[in-house]
Amino acid sequence: MREIIFDTETTGLDFKLDRVIEIGAIEIVNRFPTGRVFHEYIHPDGREIHPDAEAVHGISLASLTGKPVFAAIADKFLEFIEGAKLVAHNATFDMNFINAEFARLGFPPVEPDLVVDTLVLARRKHPMGPNSLDALCRRYGIDNSKRTKHGALLDSELLAEVYVELIGGKQAAMLLDSPIGASQANGGGNNLAVTVRPRPAPLASRISAEEKEAHNRLVAGLGENSIWSKIEAGANPAKEENQALAG
């Protein structure tokens, strides 16, 4: 599975008026970076950069002198993302700007079903938040110490690591890259025979003697009619209940 993790920086917050001034994107296949990267600084073509936006990303209009306008890099960007899912944090913001730039050139928009929003994924997985990129890096132990300001390429690299964690972590990604994982991903998981061998010796109990004694005291205090007492006496409470209902 080919996916493009990407981020944009812009002159402001209004996609109808403001312009994209930086795109950073990295390619991942089966959740692993391939090393292919797209990164461009873009001249806003007559649009000033709002001071609040510049305070966030640190990109000045002077630093974009001589950089290409969006029309000059659009074909290269389209070639890079062709056939891939697009993954972004707060993707609505980025896609509004990208599609606005495409519309100015007469290009069709990117379809919504090709876009994955990691902010939505994070809010589902961690409903109590916070779910900013920095907060997710802290949650998953991802080093974001170089992120003193927003930057499209660095944010894409960090987001790629966060994305893998959101969808199951590095273990799941490694499984997808294995023969078993690849077979399952292609719908062939049922064709693999996996032999589970018994342990040569059972694992030692993790329950201490003190914990066992505390449990026994708790069960004794529940009385002889408690479920725990019946289980420890060898009865099957669920089976007894079903028989009673059947009778």
Stretches in the chain below the pLDDT threshold 50: 171-194, 242, 245-247
Residue 166 belongs to a domain with what CATH number?
A: 3.30.420.10
Among 39, 57, 150, 215, which one carries the catalytic annotation? 150
Residue 170 pLDDT: 62
The whole-number pLDDT of residue 184 equals: 44
Are residues 167 and 241 located together in one domain of the fold?
no
In a domain, 19, yes or no: yes
How confident is the model over 110-140, as pLDDT tens digits?
Answer: 999 999 999 999 999 999 999 999 999 999 9
**Chain segment 45-78, per-residue pLDDT in tens:** 999 999 999 999 999 999 999 999 999 999 999 9
Cis peptide before 44 (omega within 30 of 0): no
Contact 144, 158 (CB under 8 A): yes
Q: Within 10 A of 62 (CB to CB), how many other CB atoms are there?
A: 7
Task: Look at residue 237 in the predicted model and tell me its pLDDT.
Answer: 53
At 220 the pLDDT is 76
Coil/strand/helix, residue 190: helix
83 and 155 share a domain?
A: yes
Give ∠ CA 242-246-247 in degrees, rounded to 5.
120
pLDDT for 233: 67
Q: Are 62 and 157 within one domain?
A: yes
pLDDT at 180: 41
Predicted local confidence at residue 186, as pLDDT: 47
Give the chain's domain count.
2
pLDDT at 150: 83
Q: Is residue 215, in this structure, part of any structural domain at all?
A: yes
Residue 115, CA distances (Å) to 60, 81, 85, 109, 222 in order: 29, 11, 6, 12, 55
Check whether residue 124 and residue 232 sit in a common domain: no
Same domain assignment for residues 182 and 215 = no
Q: Quick one: pLDDT at residue 72?
A: 98
Instruction: Let me know if residue 198 belongs to a domain.
Output: no
- Concerning whether 39 is annotated as a catalytic residue, the answer is no
Residues 164, 220, single domain; the answer is no
Domain range for 234: 209-246
pLDDT of 191: 46
In this structure, the answer to whether residues 231 and 178 fall within a common structural domain is: no
Say whether both 175 and 217 belong to one domain.
no
Residue keyed to tokens 């000045």:
60
